[in-house]
Amino acid sequence: MISVEEIRKLASLARIKLTKDEEEKLSKDMGNILAYIEQIQEVSATVEESEKPLLRNVMRDDAEPHQAGIHTEALLAEAPKREENYVKVKKIL
């Protein structure tokens, strides 16, 4: 379980103010969260090698791509604004 003093330290690092009730409630809640994480770690450690899924990359076969630009006009027609063959958007900085 995490102590109230540790909660106060975390609150000061996060620059938030907590009441005494909130500190006590957070102490209990954090203790419960840490206990749950501990349970998950125990379960994760007991998984056998045979139970782990095989990792593999799924790649598409190289094939003839479609002709360049055949969908450009249809896509640009859906845009609210366009300038030549580009979608015009508001300047974002």
Residue 19 corresponds to which tokens in the numbers above? 């009441």
Per-residue pLDDT tens over the stretch 9-22: 999 999 999 999 99
Domain ranges of the chain: 4-48
pLDDT band at 59 (very low <50, low <70, confident <90, very high): confident
Per-residue pLDDT tens over the stretch 24-46: 999 999 999 999 998 888 776 66
d(CA 35, CA 41): 10
* 84 torsion bin: left (phi>0), alpha (psi -120 to 50), beta (else): left
Alpha helices in 1-93 (DSSP H): 4-14, 20-45, 72-78
The reply to whether the predicted model has a pTM over 0.85 is: no
**Beta carbons of 2 and 37 less than 8 angstroms apart:** no
The pLDDT of residue 47 is 59
Is CATH 1.10.20 what the domain over 4-48 is classified as, yes or no? yes
CA distances (Å), origin 40, targets 14, 32, 34 = 27, 13, 10
